[in-house]
Amino acid sequence: MKKPYTKDRFIEAHSAGFFIITPQDYEDPVPLSCPVCSNLLRTRDDEEAYAEVSCCNHCALKWAHPRREAWADGWRPSPSDVTADNSERLPIVVELKLQ
């Protein structure tokens, strides 16, 4: 929980035992993965969807936009629905070249 620290900063205790001090106007960045499906956010469309509905573009198109009112009220797909949908998605192929 953030607490006032100075006139323009907040302080927050981290569970690892250190403190985080942030400016008052600090906005959290876009996370690395979607809070709904846990897939990486990797495109500009993902960033825009996250800014609008707090999930990746795929989840926004699949669940958030068709259920706008329910989504705004806090509805989210069940873990089993997310798992089933993730199993149908194409994986991201990453090639690492070790020298």
Q: What is the DSSP string of 1-56?
A: --EEEETTEEEEE-TTS-EEEEETT--PPPPSB-TTT-PBP-SHHHHHHHHHHSS-
Q: Where are the domains of the chain?
A: 1-25, 44-87
Predicted pLDDT at 1: 79
- Residue-wise pLDDT for 7-17, tens only, equals 899 998 887 88
Percent of the residues in the chain that have a pLDDT greater than 90, as a whole number: 55
Token digits for 53?
């509905």
What is the rounded CA–CA span in Å between residue 9 and residue 57? 33
Enter the pTM of the model.
0.68
